[in-house]
Amino acid sequence: MTLQTNLDHIETENQYNDILSNNENVMICCGRMGPMCVPVYADMEKLRDEYPHVKFYDMLFDIPDAQVIRNLPECLGFMGLPFTVYYKKGKVVKAASSIQMRDQITAILDEQFS
């Protein structure tokens, strides 16, 4: 099962590991098709063209392999979906939970990946 977005989907832990090893800047939004998640996916879809040096992905929160994000130390205190994680060279540089507005996302992208 995948999310109904126009983003590239991560469906397995192996795929997740490959993406992190083969891309310098990655943003992954792990969630569901809920009211807090959908606006983040929509912003990510629009931001792809503005940030060609960043790879944008989604991952369904409820699949077993999403434990790679659910169990990150940076996500342990999170209560709301989605879990949004930013990686540079395979390492977590920032993580956020719940809805994020476009300006919050771009502030993180600019700070971590410019």
- Tell me which DSSP letter residue 24 carries: S
Instruction: Name which of 98, 101, 114, 112 is nearest 46 in CA terms.
Output: 101
**pLDDT tens-digit readout, 84-103:** 999 999 999 999 999 999 99
Q: What is the pLDDT of residue 2?
A: 81
**Could you tell me which CATH number the domain at 8-113 has?**
3.40.30.10
**Average pLDDT rounded to a whole number, residues 61-81:** 97
For 10-55, write each residue's pLDDT tens digit: 999 999 999 999 999 999 999 999 999 999 999 999 999 999 999 9
Mean pLDDT across the chain? 97
pLDDT at position 1 over 80: no
Cα–Cα dist 109/112, whole Å: 5
Please report the beta strands in the chain, taking only residues with DSSP state E, as ranges in sequence order: 8-10, 25-31, 55-60, 83-88, 91-97
The CA distance from 62 to 47, in Å, is 25
